[in-house]
Homo-oligomer: A and B are copies of this chain.
């Protein structure tokens, strides 16, 4: 279900990122409480690690951080937590990167689109109703019943276009 249009969402370079994290964790607590699910310490920590930046992070990068915590951890530890968080709509998987990013507005529509900057690695989640509608119409013309969408646009964000255009490589933590 497509909801209202959303505002531009590439986070500004100097923004208060602690606030993003705090907000995300609080929202997660509330989503889980409402659903009668447990946001266990591992799940919470994985969510926090995903939110460490606005760049998608790979499962094994998360695993490494967990190990640095001194915690016992193996791949299933991470994948189970990620699966839980995905299921609650607290994070998204970026298919074209095999990586994960925090969802800035859990509980709302997840028929969204991602903009992924190849220069700074930052990801923006947008929910453009016109785009959603166009997708819906296009599928409907084929009699196709959409169950899930992957819409990932890679390129260069506004800020990086402003900076001098020397490539300095993609930045996604993996």
Q: Which residues of A contact B (CB under 8 A)?
A: 8-10, 95-96, 113, 115, 117-118, 124, 126, 128, 130-131, 133-135, 137-139, 141-158, 161
- Asked if B156 and A147 sit within 8 Å, CB to CB, the answer is yes
Candidates B128, B142, B161; contact of A124 at CB < 8 Å: B142
Cβ-neighbour of A134 out of B96, B128, B149 (below 8 A): B128
List the number of copies, as a whole number: 2
SS class, residues of chain A in contact with chain B: mixed
CA distance A130 to B134 in the complex (A): 7
By the criterion CB–CB under 8 Å, are A146 and B153 in contact?
A: yes
List the 7 closest pairs (A to B, CB-CB), nearest first.
A143-B158, A134-B134, A147-B155, A150-B152, A128-B138, A146-B155, A131-B134
